Structure formats: structure tokens, C-alpha cells
Structure 1
């Protein structure tokens, strides 16, 4: 009598390298390069040059103003909040800075401090109303913004204050085709990137935006994090107000009609930051601002109708958000993971085990 023991033959698992998915920030800058190429060709076909010194300077000038506001907006959106008062803060800070400077070069620093302090104060009020009074951020910041608007409309019927020529350099001086304001905006963006990726406060913003209850259970002071985000947002809007004052030479109370509030939200979303919070980056926001600036420059060079320009911008924003949403919930990748799990567990998949491949099987 002979006994044969069947031994299991090892099944070779297919080795497949898992490729790293391209992140939202990479997609933004790839889209920016593609838009630049297509826009350059369209302008060249019309006999122009998109990358001339004048067009490049205009493009970067548009980037700096919206960039300051959008960088600040990124902080509050990451915390699953929102700020609709930034346009009014920009207008108020331009007035505060210009009236405090009063044309005196020795008062420039005082005007800068006063404008930023006013902006930070409004951000503090926004954060306290949202966190302590539990008012929805949309309503809270809109209400605060309307209060500021009422003050501006009743107290300032036109330009106010006088900005010294030494500070006007902030709005007009260029290093080659690059404005000084753009360089300052990039420095602020770099500080924001370091804040979000290298500091505990930045990690808290991501945590609060991802799940505020889990963040609280982890010992994070969620209310304080949201308040700090609103203060930073309004402070960045205050820098934009100082830029407006430097360009105009006076404060301008009508700046709130520029639509910087909605444009900043569009730039943040276009840069890959989720409106539900918890995911995004300042670098992506800068890319979104650049895309909007390129589109505005191309529309101006090609003399596109202003109403149709808004339609095209809306289409671009909707397409970008749809792309991000599809990447975040990808049914194909979910099915692939499900199939791989079923292959690893034959019992769960309903497959019968092969007796010839199980240890301990004997035949007489």
C-alpha cells in the first residue's frame, strides 16, 4: 500500500507595479501648460503675441491681486468654512491704508499696520460668529461683509486718502516683466505652503476640514483652528487692499464690486481644493489663479465679448470641478480593488477549494 501526499504548488501572483496617481496640483499645472500653448497659438493666429512683455505683465498683475485673496480663501475652505466678506475687506483696507498714510512717507508703516489690523479684526469677528454663535459661514461672512459695505457706502462717496509715491512702487514697480506685487504674492504663497505642510496648525486645518468630530476627539481645538483660518484669510485680503491703494494712489471704496469673493472661491476650487474641506493646497490655488489670469488675458487680447467671457470661465470651472469629483469617486478603481480582494479570498468569492492544492490530502 502506498501513500501519496499531494503538495500544494505555489501559484504565481501577477506582479504589477502600482502607478502613482497624478495629484490635483499636478493636474492644475498640466492644464495651465496646455492652456498656455493653446492660447499662444490662438493669439498668434490673430497676429498677436501672448507672451509679449505687456501681456505678460498684465497677466501677472491680475495674478497678484486675486492671488492674495485666493490664498487666504484656501485656509478657510480647507477648514470646511467660507468667506464672502473678502471683497469688502479689500475695499475697507485700501481706505484705511490710504487715509492713515495721508501722503506722508513716514506714515507708510503705520498705514500698513492699520490696514492689516483692521483686516485681522474682521477675520476674528467672522471666526467668532461661525464658531461661537454657530452661524453658517455663508450667512455669517455675508452679513459681516454687508455691514462693512454699509459703512463704506455711507462714509466714503469716492476716493479717499493719499498714498505716498514710495509705497506706490508696490503696485507699479517691475523686475523685468514681473511686478513686485507678484513676487510678494509668491512669498505669501510660500509661507502658506510651509504653514500647511510643516506646522501643527496646518495639520489641524486639514484635520478639522476632514472630520471636525474626529479632530475634537483627537484633542484639536477645532474652534480655534477655524478662527485662525478666518483671521489669515482676512489678513491676505488686507494685503490685496494695500495693493489696490498702491495702484490707485488713493483708497477706493468701490473695489468690492470687482467680484473678488466669488473669483477667489473659483480659483481655490479650480486649484483642486475641496469645498467640503480637508483636501487642497496653496500651490494648487496659485495654479488656479494663473489659469484664470491667462484666460482673462487671452479674452482681452482677442477682444472677446465680456458676457461670453463669463460663460467661458464658468465652463472651465465646472469642467475642472467635474474632473476632480470623478477622480475622487472612481467606480472603475473601486471595482478593481473589489475584484482583487475576491481573488485573494476564494471562500468569500464562492469558489470551491481545489483538493489537489490543499496540504494534507492523501490517497490510498
Structure 2
């Protein structure tokens, strides 16, 4: 039997890591000239904590985008998850596991609802997930004026602040989740079906792929990753925060990380390895700008330029391949 062609999810994505290395090198030089130090322990720990929060959401976003869909509700799922986790724990270590289980169950339910709207309801993913996000926003705004609940001390001490050297436990968990998703995309039937659906839904359907089931599963996994991000942020904050997801721009930032990492917004090409690189690149820019005390407006301008440049580069590559 001849070997199967290398799937898009398994192709190396070196470009974003080259950009990451250049960004950190230039940032280190600029910060050093300014009299600061970029690669001290506190900056490294902070960078990896930022990467962990965004990374969980971005890895999940990668799955739905690969399948030709999108999820704009993730920021509100993150906020809701912090509240479900913190209020269920209410400062009790004994309630830690039930709280985590309930948070993931609620997140999965939202993902299932998103997936059914997109597939069974035949609603455009942008509109469907935006609508679900607004429903969650209305609930959060009407029920909460500020932080609520209290995170179990055991979760704060482990996921929130424990480190292995300079590497936070949360970042190691992110790598584990990304590794699991890489395996799912590269080594399982579901992964190949997801990429096939994102590449050409009609061809996938004629090949026997159950498109709707694949997309619904992707949306459930995406919301589960957002739920994990909420649990992590609750461990960092010590309570639930009804606006932490939107204030962190996790919906748009996650899409940006996915695009910078080389995943096509149209679906069918990319993977989580590049997404992790995109997350680290965005977190690295934050770290450099924080060291230089650059204002928030300039940060967003640079982020926008990077995203536009990344999309332009990948679009030109796609055109060159199409012309061959």
C-alpha cells in the first residue's frame, strides 16, 4: 500500500518560529539599549502565563477554523467559565474536581449549541457564534457587577502559580493540550475528516465523511478549550471575573494567533504547532512593549500590522501554489 500524502496538519510551520526568534532577538536588543532586561525570570514567567491563557483558546479556535468554521463566543465562554468554577468551589478544596467537571460540562454544552446552530440550523458561523456570545454577554451583564466566588486554594497554588523552574505549570498544561490536539489532527480519523471538511465540504461528503458531526465535535472541543482557559484564569485571579474574556480580547486574539500560525481562515490547512508559535509571538510582543512602557494603542497598531503581513504572506504563497 502506498503511503498517504502528508496531511496539512502535519506539515512543519517554521515561518512563525523564525518570526518569533527575530522578534525576541530584536526586542532583547532594544530593551537592553533602553537599560532593561528582557530575559529575566519575572519577564519570562509573565510571558508564559500570558501565552497559557491565550493559548488554550487559540488551540480550540484552530480546530473550528480548520473545519471551515469560526467561534466568536469564546471570550464570553471564558468569562462564564471563571464564574462557574469560582462559585462552585467557593473557596473549598473539596469542591475542586466537581467545579472543574461542571465548568467543562457547561463549556461543552455551549460548544454543542454553537455546532448545532452552524450545522442543523445552517446559520453562518460568524453570525451563529456571535449571537451566542451576545446571549452570554447579556446573562453576564445582568447577573454580575464584578468578581464573584472564590477559587479553591489548591487550584491557585498549582495551576495558578506553581512553576517548574521558570516555566509555569499552566504553560506545560497548554503544551499537553496542544500535543493532544496535534495527535488528534495528525493520527486519527477525526483529524483527517476535519481537514477534509475544511478543505472541500462537498468532496468530503461524497467521500463518506459526516460533515455535520465533524463540525459539531470541533465546536465542542473549541468551547472545552475556552473552559480550560477560564479555569486557569480563575486560578490566577482567585475568583470569577465576568469580563475577563472580553477585556483580554480572547475572541479576536485567538483568531489572530491562528492566522499568524499559518492556518487558513477558509479551513483545510494549518495546525496547532503554528498556533502555539503565533501565541508566543503575540505574548512576546506584549512582554517587549511592557518592558519599554509602550502605550496600549501602539501595541494594537503593531499587532494589526503583523496580522495583515502574515495574511498577505500566506495569501501570496497560496497564489503561487495555485499557479503551478
Return the TM-score normalized by structure 1: 0.84
Write out aligned runs for 1:273-352 (5 A): 273-330=263-320, 334=323
Match of 1:216 in 2: 205
**C-alpha separation in 2, matches of 1:297 and 1:175:** 20
Aligned pair partner of 1:89 in 65, 77, 81: 77
Matched, 1:171 2:160: yes
**C-alpha separation in 1, matches of 2:212 and 2:138:** 28
Match of 2:228 in 1: 239
**C-alpha separation in 1, matches of 2:248 and 2:186:** 32
Aligned pair partner of 1:43 in 9, 28, 31: 31
Contact 1:122 1:234 in 2 (8 A): yes
- State the 1:257 CA deviation: 2.7
Match of 2:130 in 1: 142
SS in 2 for 1:82: coil
Q: CA RMSD in A?
A: 1.2
- State the 1:114 CA deviation: 0.5
Unaligned runs of 5+ in 2: 1-10
Unaligned runs of 5+ in 1: 1-22, 338-364
Q: How many residue pairs get matched?
A: 312
- State the 1:164 CA deviation: 1.5
**C-alpha separation in 2, matches of 1:303 and 1:157:** 30
**C-alpha separation in 1, matches of 2:273 and 2:153:** 32
Contact 1:24 1:324 in 2 (8 A): no
**C-alpha separation in 2, matches of 1:39 and 1:250:** 34
Match of 1:133 in 2: 121
- State the 1:24 CA deviation: 6.5
Contact 2:92 2:153 in 1 (8 A): no
**C-alpha separation in 1, matches of 2:286 and 2:255:** 16
Return the TM-score normalized by structure 2: 0.94
**C-alpha separation in 1, matches of 2:313 and 2:30:** 25
Contact 1:24 1:271 in 2 (8 A): no
Aligned pair partner of 2:249 in 242, 250, 259: 259
- Which is worse superposed, 299-308 or 203-212? 299-308
**C-alpha separation in 1, matches of 2:211 and 2:47:** 38
- State the 1:161 CA deviation: 1.0
Match of 2:107 in 1: 119
**C-alpha separation in 2, matches of 1:24 and 1:188:** 18
Deviations 1:92-113 (A, max 9, x none): 0100011111111111000000
**C-alpha separation in 2, matches of 1:257 and 1:293:** 16
**C-alpha separation in 2, matches of 1:225 and 1:35:** 37
Contact 1:71 1:282 in 2 (8 A): yes
Contact 1:92 1:253 in 2 (8 A): yes
SS in 2 for 1:162: coil
Match of 1:340 in 2: none
